[in-house]
A and B are shown apart, each in its own frame.
Chain A
Amino acid sequence: MQITFKLFAGLSQYLPSGSVRNSASIDLEPDETVHQFIHRQKVPSTEVHLVLVNGKYLSDAERMDYVLEAGDTLAIWPPVAGG
């Protein structure tokens, strides 16, 4: 039961050592929500801004409810923008 976990910009330091291309495969705990997973990975909540599961945006409330499934891709950025 693994997901692909991606951290970008200044968050990449919170990925496990040996991660490549800002990505790591990580085991899930039973019925783990996005919020619980982020907390377990020790990513500071103040730096978590843009949260995508399989490319779809999750609001703060949705992160509390969404239970991750095997094969999901969870990608997170701090506040960023461009143009």
Chain B
Amino acid sequence: MSWTGKILRIDLSAGTCTSEPLNMQWANDYMGQRGLATKYLVEETDPTVDPFSPDNKMIFATGPLTGTIAPTSGRWSVVCKGPLTGAIACSNSGGFFGAELKNAGWDMVIFEGKSASPVYLDMTNDQAELKDASDLWGKSVWETETALRERRGDPDVRVASIGLAGESGVLYAAVVNDMDRAAGRSGVGAVMGSKNLKAVVVRGTVGVKVNDPMAMMKTSNAAKEILAENAVTGEGLPTHGTQILMNVINEVGALPTRNGQDVQFDGAHDIGAEAMAEVRESDGQSNLVSNHACFGCPISCARRSKIDPTHFTVKDKPQYQGVSGGLEYEAAWALGAANGVNDLEALTYANFVCNEQGMDPISLGVTIGAAMDLYHAGAISQEDTGGVALEFGSTEAFVAMVEATARGEGFGKELGQGSRRLCEKYGHPDFSMTVKSQEIAAYDPRGIQGMGLAYATSNRGACHLRGYTVASEVLGIPEKTDPLATEGKAGLVKAFQDATAAVDSSGTCVFTTFALSGEDIAPMVDAACEGDWSVERFVEVGERIWNMERQYNIAAGFTGADDTLPERLLKDAAKTGPAEGSVNRLNEMLPEYYESRGWSASGEPTAETLGRLGL
């Protein structure tokens, strides 16, 4: 406890579903979810495997706190080798699916092989069966989830599925659960599609047992109290959501705009949290309808939105006129500022399409931004784009590209390959805002130096969630550091990376760390699980996971030379704002980072470091 001690192994080639015991030694060393699933992947697959090969495995994983009374215990992850990057992929999702899987009695589901025809996995507690999904192939996430819910006749089943993007191999396809919660990054949905697996349906009524129920209640209640009283988790996030950052990051001059040509966007105010709450003239309603919570979450940061029914994107399209998952900051930035588009309703529509067809809005938006850059430079023309004038800031062109990518039509097929491949094909690799082939997130490393190091060293390619130093550098959590300084950032990035790896492996949400520390989270793991889970052990597990992921990537062919940033961020200075005249000074931080990690000067963990961590 509170591991269920059981893994479900699905051999899609043979069509079998087999239960096996969880390796408890690995559970003790890697906790759960991100860490534990990666350990299984490392042990069971060749890191050089083609991500779309049947030999690549895909793991749906919960953490020891998933499905418990711990706050934000709805988290689960999808782990595999990622097709966008060729690196380790671990995408974390919320909603209710993960808790349902845990309540069905499973710590993880390992998918291996490839089905000869489309199937879905149908689960109720310890019963699991692969069923024909031929009639669902070609359907969206929304259609699939609705159909499977009706087929089961049980409104409480939970569904995780792929849409057209996962089926057609869009390299940043997502696995979507509960209609609009997504394991979004690195193309895990495309791996699911490559295995001919359309969906997983689960109903769980077994419950989750914890090691010390009284201690679990006490530690969880203490954490909930802190979350409720904290101004960010108790008020800021539930009221405004992540979108409140749009104007913050624009003011500090770190909002990557028009494919990184600028660091501030004059349309930022039109697409942030304040704009979502404004009443529209057309229908007297606001874009924002309400907030929304995942399983067991007292923060409720998610947004529910309704698009203006008169907007050109949804006119005569009733499926988009209802209330659905609204814009988060990352999506609004990538779909908006990265393309110079400031039409909030169009961005919300694009976000709906990402949920509907299972695409990562960050990679989609940044890739369209790269295409606009190519068009602006004359490297592509309307002959390439299917007649679309792909100008920065054109809402119509942007929407056309979103729809083409979702359907895998025309130029959309090329956009579905991501920014790095697109820019290389058209002779401008320098236009690609990627690290290890994954698109950057909503913080410009010229204005927030530590995020440059975090992007460059992220094990799954550019990512804000592997080491969110923005918390310190901009927001002052847990303490304020200067975003334009490089001093101290190596240690800061390492600390955030290790702590995040631990939280991601626990089954709770990293957003709790705006208020909670390891001192609050480790006691919940300690109450839930056997053994002594001290804060020190909790953080050490995080560091072990980080180094294990690093070792996987090295075995997959990555080197220290891949720990870099897009050329534009290293050579083209910011034109405005506090960072005007600055580039990211990665070279001042990277050697110190390697040293603080106990890695060689070329970025490889030393034997001593591996030994210390039991690797």
Binding site for B on A (CB under 8 A): 6, 8-10, 12, 21-22, 49-50, 52, 54-57, 59, 73, 75, 77-83
B247:A22 contact, CB within 8 angstroms: yes
Kindly state the separation between the CA atoms of A54 and B239 in the bound complex, as whole angstroms.
Answer: 26
29 CB < 8 A contacts A-B? A6-B247, A8-B247, A8-B248, A9-B239, A9-B240, A22-B269, A50-B475, A52-B252, A55-B251, A56-B252, A57-B480, A57-B482, A57-B483, A59-B480, A75-B251, A77-B248, A78-B235, A80-B236, A80-B248, A80-B475, A81-B237, A81-B242, A81-B471, A81-B511, A82-B244, A82-B245, A83-B329, A83-B470, A83-B510
Within 8 A of A (CB), among B108-129: none
A80:B269 contact, CB within 8 angstroms: no
B514 to chain A: which residues have CB within 8 Å?
81
B329:A80 contact, CB within 8 angstroms: no
B226 CB-CB contact with A under 8 Å: no
B468:A83 contact, CB within 8 angstroms: yes
B500 to chain A, nearest CB (A): 11
> With A8-B247, A55-B578, A77-B248 given, is the CB distance from A83 to B274 under 8 Å?
no
B236:A55 contact, CB within 8 angstroms: no
Q: What residue of chain B has the Cβ atom nearest to residue A22's Cβ?
A: B274
A83:B241 contact, CB within 8 angstroms: no
B251 to chain A: which residues have CB within 8 Å?
6, 52, 55, 73, 75
B236:A9 contact, CB within 8 angstroms: yes
B240:A55 contact, CB within 8 angstroms: no
Kindly state the separation between the CA atoms of A57 and B242 in the bound complex, as whole angstroms.
Answer: 20
A54 to chain B: which residues have CB within 8 Å?
578
Kindly state the separation between the CA atoms of A20 and B202 in the bound complex, as whole angstroms.
Answer: 49
Kindly state the separation between the CA atoms of A79 and B330 in the bound complex, as whole angstroms.
Answer: 19
B582 to chain A, nearest CB (A): 12
- Residue pairs across A and B with CB atoms within 8 Å: the count is 92
Kindly state the separation between the CA atoms of A54 and B231 in the bound complex, as whole angstroms.
Answer: 25
B248 to chain A: which residues have CB within 8 Å?
8, 50, 77, 80
- Other-chain contact of A79, B231, B241, B243, B470 (Cβ < 8 Å): B231
A83 to chain B: which residues have CB within 8 Å?
242, 329-330, 464-465, 468, 470, 510-511
B222 CB-CB contact with A under 8 Å: no
> With A83-B329, A83-B510 given, is the CB distance from A21 to B269 under 8 Å?
yes
Kindly state the separation between the CA atoms of A52 and B240 in the bound complex, as whole angstroms.
Answer: 19
B476 to chain A: which residues have CB within 8 Å?
49-50, 57
Kindly state the separation between the CA atoms of A79 and B218 in the bound complex, as whole angstroms.
Answer: 27
A81:B475 contact, CB within 8 angstroms: yes
Q: What residue of chain B has the Cβ atom nearest to residue A56's Cβ?
A: B578
- Other-chain contact of B239, A10, A50, A77 (Cβ < 8 Å): A10
Q: What residue of chain B has the Cβ atom nearest to residue A55's Cβ?
A: B578
B247:A79 contact, CB within 8 angstroms: no
Considering residues A9, A22, A78, A82, which has the most beta carbons from chain B within 10 angstroms of its beta carbon? A82
A82 to chain B: which residues have CB within 8 Å?
237, 241-245, 328-329
Kindly state the separation between the CA atoms of A61 and B150 in the bound complex, as whole angstroms.
Answer: 61
Kindly state the separation between the CA atoms of A1 and B330 in the bound complex, as whole angstroms.
Answer: 37
B601 CB-CB contact with A under 8 Å: no
